[in-house]
A and B are shown apart, each in its own frame.
Chain A
Amino acid sequence: MELAEEKLDEHHLDEKEVVDVVVRFAGDSGDGMQLTGTNFTQATALYGNDLSTFPDFPAEIRAPVGATFGVSAFQIYFGAEDVTTAGDAVDVLVAMNPAALITNLEKLVDGGLVIVDSGAFTAKNLAKAKYENNPLEDGSLEGYRVLSIDIHKQVLTAVEPFGLGHKDALRCKNMWTLGLVMWLFDRDRSATIDSLKAKFASKPAIADSNIAALNAGHAYGETAELPTGIHVYKVPKAKVAPGTYRNITGTQALAWGLIAGSEIADINLLFASYPITPASNLLHELANHKEFRVNTFQAEDEIAAVCAAVGASFAGSLGITSSAGPGIALKAEGMALAAAAELPLVVVNTQRGGPSTGLPTKTEQSDFNMAMYGRHGDTPIPVIAASTSIDCFDVAMEAVRLATKYMTPVMLLSDGYLANAAEPWKIPAADSLPSFSVEHYDDPTDFRPSIRDEETLARVWAKPGTAGMEHRIGGIERSFDTGDISYDPDNHQKMTDLRKAKVDGIAGDIPLQEVCYGNSSGKLAVVGWGSTFGAIHQAVKRAVSEGLDVSHIQVRYLSPLPSNLGELLSNFEAVIIPEMNTGQFIKLVRSEFLIDADGINKVAGQPFKIGEILSAIHKKYKELEAVA
């Protein structure tokens, strides 16, 4: 499906002061673009802009130098107003070589600034990027402002005093470039200098060289005679609520949310996982925080990971496992065991492009159906989705709450974009976090493993090691009354109904669906779930500012759905649902509430652009007005 895209009003870089800017750093996967972007993000946060980032890197770890498929990019959108996406179009493109230029130039706005390292535009590199002529010389960049600098040469001069070899010296290119971009936006270099000192504490020559390169890039901006119209741009600070802030990626927020959940509930976590892109970082983050009630286990495969988690839950800890689509597929049987045995389990799916290996480093929402239905038997489980990097923190705590309170596996959906994207986060006070508790059953009087809470329908959690609680459970259907094996037809009906009723009942224990922007009734509702939040939010905000009657509804609870969602949607004349899949959630909405809804679907491995959603809003709005 071809998506229409509207160009948004762009401020370009015409004025000395601009409201918001998108900068994209692009280079070889070995050029250190992610590190450059992360440092620029840090400086931008400290400056006081709101921001959102989008690391966009290839699956190849070290592709051949100069290859187009090895280009790694880091995009950051920052500004004076609330920023929820990494930006539609790029204002400043940093291209460290011809491959980075050819693969990223189309993202640059007309009149945008492109900074290139002319030292990398050799015949060999041009050929690798399939340029017939040198674009720096053939006039093909005429529509842009070009800052062509031989960064190779500049860096070698800057780091000469530190005696590095040629190769190591050239590795400082990224810091030189970062220095220049920091000058361009008046960023403070001190945080980067501190982090370089810390990172290379045992290699002072490398630290000094990188710092010298950073300072030299900055000095170049200050002193060199630059083409007209290239100067320091001021981006006013964003107006944000007072408090202490930090940058956080979705992965970090998710890990910390799980830790917070375990602290709140006073329960141990066993996080069992098998490495897979883009989910592995969650394992790395938690493996570094065993000072909390967290233990991690790198299992031999995805199945062992979910099984170890289920085993831990049986033993009284909360088992958590994590993967991306193909790995989650392998865990299906283990999840169903947890559902049958009624044990808590959290399964985190950091979705990526599929099917099969698909696009491991790119984002998608195509595992919705698998999350909802991807198990054998009638096996409903709660499914919740994070909508921003920050939201991962709250959703992770909620997953811990639901899994332990209802003795059920819970699927938490994130995606490759959320996992890697960073945004500033107002750090909550630890004592302001929600509170919930977990109790292990220990009353031996007439004990059966099938004793359940009448309200939640959750079975008791009696852990091994507690005298008088000895019992057997398993995957075979169990008697509702005794918990022993039962092949009785009526009992199976009853247990199947019970499993459904338990999950359905959670609808009474979650917030009612709210409208996150706009009115709670009206002409058009744009309904999203997951990481489409940012683009929908900006598109709806712009539509509303144009005077359109549009609202934004973002659904966190996908199973069970909020009890008022159907009624809320019926208050709108029309509903559109953007998804990064071919239309999965929309089918649930249509079948569940018998309402019409239009899908906006993008399966390109890239997040939605604001302009794409805005265009769909305009189109639908016109249709509605024509009917009226």
Chain B
Amino acid sequence: MNQALPTLTLKDFASDQEVRWCPGCGDYAILKTIQKLMPDLDTPKENQVFVSGIGCSSRFPYYMNTFGFHTIHGRAPAIATGVKLANPELDVWVITGDGDGFSIGGNHMMHVLRRNVDLQILLFNNEIYGLTKGQYSPTSQIGTRSPSSPTGSIDSPLSPCIVALGSGSTFIARSIDTEAKHLTQVVKRGHDHRGASFIEILQNCPIYNDGIFEQVKDKKIAPDFRVEVAQGEPLKFGKDQEKGIVLNRDSLQLEVVAAEGNEDKLLVHDESNKIQAQLIAAMGGPDFPVAVGVIYREEKTSFIEDVQAQVETARSSKGSLEKLLNSGHTWEVD
């Protein structure tokens, strides 16, 4: 049955629900990008499932005309694991935020990544709790003033990509809410990946943390503050690609150098190099540009494939209830 899928468009993936994010929220852009790329994915619409936790980003499934489950705070990875275990044919997405995915749900995130469950995990990172009105989150920078940290937050933030790497994630990428083209490419690669794909999307909250990613988003200055990594390409950035990244082999630290004259020394991006991924994922201001793109990728069988293999082995001869009940020691009473 090599039947072609019906041709769908963005509209087929937009639900009839009124979108209720704040005006100017980065989530609108992400929603549009995902709706737009859905028809290109080689998956029937009825097999698409969006699972989310709690928070602004977690309203996402309501706006997709697919199957959707808006669940409880932090637990989307666990629920999505159950969905995928129950029906491996489904194409399952997890929509989460920095608070949902790395504070209350940090444990599930760690385990879903190490297990390599076949899911696309989109982390909308706005470095703030939006839905509860602006408290600092586990990714907020030190000194963030918020209703719960009136004189500035004192906890160190975590880096989602670094935690994902430490958890054994096999696909780690970073992109930006309003960069539709880049985000589309990254998400499509994540979708094609076998196992869990973890995609951090830097997302602006215009109400509680406006402009936090301005440096990497503002077209005028962004070239100096972000580097787009691509497999096999040297790490160059700046308006005229005049700067580059090299690895100081004595200190095992990265350094920013002038690209010119250093071409043969520039770090060449290798998605399969975990140590390098660690260094690249950690890059950020003020001394380094933020890396966007696919930072790390590893070929590995997925959790669901391994589970299926065991189940299939067990079911090579179908269970008989009669046989089960009469198994082991039994005796007859006349």
Contacts and interface: CB of A to CB of B under 8 A. Distances in A.
B129 interface: no
A291 B331 contact: no
| Interface secondary structure of A, over-half rule | mixed
Interface in A331-364: 333-334, 337, 341
B87 interface: yes
Contacts of A315: 49, 82-84, 86-87, 90
B107 A429 contact: no
Nearest to A433: B321
A76 B90 CA distance: 50
A471 B70 CA distance: 11
B319 A291 contact: yes
A299 B332 CA distance: 41
Interface string A503-535: 000000000000000000000000000000000
A45 B331 CA distance: 8
B322 A430 contact: yes
A470 B75 CA distance: 22
Given A427-B330, A470-B46, A464 B78 contact: no
Given A337-B72, A474-B69, A243 B333 contact: yes
A314 B279 CA distance: 40
B183 to A, nearest CB: 23
A464 B87 contact: yes
Interface in A478-511: 484-485
Given A246-B329, A315-B82, A464-B90, A256 B324 contact: yes
A316 B87 contact: yes
Contacts, number: 205
B82 A319 contact: yes
A165 B46 CA distance: 65
A46 interface: yes
Nearest to A293: B319
Interface residues of A, number: 70
Interface string B297-334: 00000000001001100110111111011101111111
Interface stretch (A6-14, A303-311, A406-414, A609-617): A303-311
Given A241-B333, A289-B319, A297 B81 contact: yes
B51 A470 contact: no
A48 B333 contact: yes
A248 B46 CA distance: 44
Contacts of B72: 307, 333-334, 337, 475
B228 to A, nearest CB: 34
A304 B47 contact: no
Contacts of A164: none
B63 to A, nearest CB: 9
A571 interface: no
Nearest to A427: B325
Contact of A471 (B44, B68, B311, B321): B68
A601 B85 CA distance: 43
B151 to A, nearest CB: 33
Interface string A310-338: 11111111010000000000000110010
B82 A297 contact: yes
8 contacts: A291-B319, A295-B86, A312-B83, A319-B86, A334-B75, A469-B67, A471-B68, A472-B68
Q: Which 5 A-B pairs have the closest CB atoms?
A: A311-B82, A474-B70, A308-B82, A290-B314, A472-B68
Given A308-B81, A314-B83, 9 more contacts: A291-B318, A295-B86, A303-B75, A314-B82, A315-B86, A472-B64, A472-B69, A472-B70, A475-B72
